[in-house]
Amino acid sequence: MKELDELVQESIKGFEKQFGSKPDVVAQAPGRINIIGEHTDYAGGLALPAAINRWMICCCSPNTDKTIRIYSEKYKEEYTYKLNLKPIMLNSWHQYVNGVIQVWNDKFFIDKGFTAFLSGNIPSGSGVSSSAALIVSLMNALKKLYKLKLSDLQLVKFSQGVENKYLNLDSGMMDQYASQFSQAGKYLLIDFSKMDHELIEALNDHHSWVVINSNIVRQLNKRAYSQRVRELKSAIKTALSSNLNLELPYYLSSKKISDTPSKLKRLRHFITENDRVLTAVDLIKNNKIEELGKLLNESHQSLRDDFEVSVPEIDFLADKANQFDGCYGARIMGGGFGGSVLCLLDENQFDKFSSFIKYYYKEEYDLDAEVFEVKTVGGAGVVTG
Ligand code: GAF
């Protein structure tokens, strides 16, 4: 797997080839895994993500007029337009870039355009936040280019604003937050009710985090995600306003899945998942890997049965992973309805595990799984400029 330096050098060369000069600013933003704490961020809960060694790179230089020129290495496509035009709704990767420009335009006076080259090695649609990283890399680059004064937290909020305001996604802030604030060798315990975090020392080297990309992207995922956001927020509101909140955990723990109305199931996931985040932190601090693996499995069950964001292919992959001797636990990661599974694996098992998963997934669904090992890295920022 390519290191950050190599990606940056390739990106600079790409910029030069495309635009005929060296870029003034180069910024990077990593993708992320989320160890535990899924579907909690937008409701003020807890999560435990970490940035991983997959990055988006943005090389850019200012223009003397209002022209914006952007090239995407992935799509091999250049796109040019004028700053200060009314928001344009576009498809594909243009939307993200356009959203960032609109957010800047709403907040700051910007009178000069720029030229940018976007590249990276984060697989898209695999639940490791390639789109959030794209936005965060562009935000960091433009902050430097325009010499804007804003804190990392503001930058994260603006990045979320791009998704919420311009891409019609109700997403929380976990992906952008992890991309900006992570540190190598640490996990981020984020408390979204306070919008702050604590750094947790990562597990030792006798294990690895492995992502299985199912290559399943359900078309309904955007709508279904928004529906879950609405259901959970409304369930929390009802519980808080009805004085039920103190007795609720007891009530919920007594209910069978089949007897629990869906709104309450969403709430039960939220309550138990937040607990699991705190338990996970304890287990990590005490290096209890086997128990941590079991907790990942419990999180998966809760996301499957109570939050109902899994799909058969993902359940199959999580089950298969658990059948492998050397896998401690596995769970669906990210927004759901496809995407990826995160697995906690014993050291030196990756090659065998990867072949095992690919073989059985192909046999069952005639689909290719992408399996990759990740390492924790530091957060986004300007590399040169
Ligand atoms: C997606 C969203 F973008 C995040 O904000 C978060 O809600 C996650 O799904 C689920 O935990 O990645």
Q: From CA 285, how far away is CA 63, in angstroms rounded?
A: 50
- Same domain, yes or no, for 66 and 174? yes
Residue 106: its pLDDT value, please? 79
**Alpha-carbon torsion 141, 104, 154, 274, what sign?**
negative
* Confidence class for position 204, pLDDT limits 50, 70, 90: confident
- Condensed to tens digits (0 to 9), the pLDDT of residues 273-312 reads 999 999 999 999 999 999 999 999 999 999 999 999 999 9
- Same domain, yes or no, for 18 and 110? yes
Q: Is the CB of 334 under 6 A from ligand 1?
A: yes
The active-site residue, picked from 170, 175, 205, 306, is 175
- Same domain, yes or no, for 84 and 169? yes
- Same domain, yes or no, for 161 and 271? no
Residue 244: its pLDDT value, please? 62
Q: Ligand 1 atom 2: the closest Cα is on which residue?
A: 171
Residue span of the structural domain in which 231 resides:
207-374
Residue 218: its pLDDT value, please? 67
Q: Is the CB of 42 under 6 A from ligand 1?
A: yes
Q: From CA 385, how far away is CA 101, in angstroms rounded?
A: 20
- Same domain, yes or no, for 22 and 45? yes
CA separation (Å) from 269 to 36, 192, 235, 238, 252? 12, 16, 11, 16, 10
Residue 288: its pLDDT value, please? 95
Please state the domain count of the chain: 2
> Is the predicted pLDDT of residue 109 greater than 80, yes or no?
no
* Confidence class for position 382, pLDDT limits 50, 70, 90: very high
- Condensed to tens digits (0 to 9), the pLDDT of residues 157-175 reads 999 999 888 888 889 999 9
pTM of the model: 0.95
CA 50 / ligand 1 centre spacing (Å): 13
- Same domain, yes or no, for 163 and 213? no
The atom number, within ligand 1, closest to the CA of 225 reads 9
- Same domain, yes or no, for 179 and 285? no
CATH number of the domain within which 260 lies:
3.30.70.890
> Is the predicted pLDDT of residue 220 greater than 80, yes or no?
no
- Same domain, yes or no, for 171 and 225? no
- Same domain, yes or no, for 129 and 29? yes
- Same domain, yes or no, for 108 and 166? yes
Q: From CA 51, how far away is CA 378, in angstroms rounded?
A: 7
> Is the predicted pLDDT of residue 241 greater than 90, yes or no?
no
Q: Is the CB of 41 under 6 A from ligand 1?
A: yes
Residue 180: its pLDDT value, please? 98
- Same domain, yes or no, for 151 and 181? yes
